[in-house]
Amino acid sequence: MQSNPLGHKVDLAERAYRIRRNALKMGEVQGQGYIGQALDIADVLAVSYFHAMRYRPEDPAWEERDRFLLSNGHYAIALYAALIEAGIIPEEELETYGSDGSRLPMSGMASYTPGMEMSGGSLGLGLTIAVGMCLGLRRKSSAARVYTLFSDGELDEGSVWEAIMSAGHWKLDNLIGIVDVNNQQADGPSTQVLAFEPLVDKLEAFGWFVQRVDGNDLDAVVAAFDAARNHAAQKPRMIVCDTRMGCGVPFLEAREKNHFIRVDAHEWQLALEALEAGRTQ
């Protein structure tokens, strides 16, 4: 988005740092939140909001904006953190996270939050909406793209594969899917709950242009987003991101992996300090 004299890498690393910091502060407000997930997806959100997407912070409903659908609504804490950094939500509101009457409920809902483009919580819906948005944008001859973030657990839902097949059928080159493969879902590691590999082969067979990257390597994520946007073939684009839960806070990353990562009351501050210690200067 904005040009930065230090070059995009430094800028994006700092953005990702601040997204993680915002998320940790919100987690601290309630003493809970999907913080493992927020930390794993922060780099992808930094690239989405500060490298790839076109939008106007002061006008979240700007007609020409690129859309961002959060299909995995429980990642709301992560998206709020990015929307705050993007200037779409005022930073002070972070203090209200998850509280009664807040615009930032724990599960992402379009009717509550500026910049939240769908009501999630029930998984496996995002890509179906994306198909319709992409068809609608094409119908309006709009240049806007639809970015859709979803999770590896969502790969279990039939509706996701209906949408994947449909997007291939309609050759939706204005759709960029991003799947967070953190290899975790509610009952355990995603690969054990329901085998979904080889994911790239499957998606390619459904007519998508597919890349698989380390979702916590900013350079790799930037390159993948660039390739997805510039790809010539008329196909929907998928970026499969392998991520590490808790990334950026070593002691959380080392902790036993869980859908709800355990964070004790005193550890939120320690996590903020650990994050700060790893900040790229």
Ligand X SMILES: Cc1ncc(C[n+]2csc(CCOP(=O)(O)OP(=O)(O)O)c2C)c(N)n1
Residue 236 touches which of Mg ion, ligand X, another protein, none (Cβ within 5-8 Å per kind): none
> What x-and-dash track marks residues 170-209 binding ligand X by CB under 6 A?
------------x-xxx---x-------------------
Smallest gap from Cβ 40 to ligand X, in A, equals: 8
Smallest gap from Cβ 182 to ligand X, in A, equals: 5
Segment interacting with ligand X (CB under 6 A) among 4-12, 77-85, 97-105, 151-159 = 151-159
**Residue 45 CA to its chain's centroid (Å):** 5
- The position carrying tokens 């994306």 is 130
- Please tell me whether residue 152 binds Mg ion under the rule CB under 5 A: yes
Distance of alpha carbon 128 from alpha carbon 91, whole angstroms: 32
What residues contact 179, with CB distance under 8 A and at least 6 apart? 149, 150, 151, 152, 154, 155, 199, 238, 239, 240, 241
Segment interacting with Mg ion (CB under 5 A) among 145-153, 169-177, 196-204, 268-276 = 145-153
Residue from the set 22, 113, 151, 216 that interacts with ligand X by CB under 6 A: 151
CA distances for 75 relative to 72, 120, 136, 191, angstroms: 6, 9, 26, 20
Q: Which amino acid is at 243?
A: T
What residues from 172 to 191 belong to the interface with Mg ion (CB under 5 A)?
A: 182, 184
Which of 13/200 has CB closer to Mg ion? Answer: 200
Structure tokens given for 69: 């659908």
Which three-class secondary structure state does DSSP give residue 85? helix
CB atoms under 10 Å from CB of 201, counted, come to: 10
Residue from the set 30, 99, 122, 269 that interacts with ligand X by CB under 6 A: 122
Interacting residues with ligand X (CB under 6 A): 34, 37, 72, 74, 121-124, 151-153, 182, 184-186, 190, 259
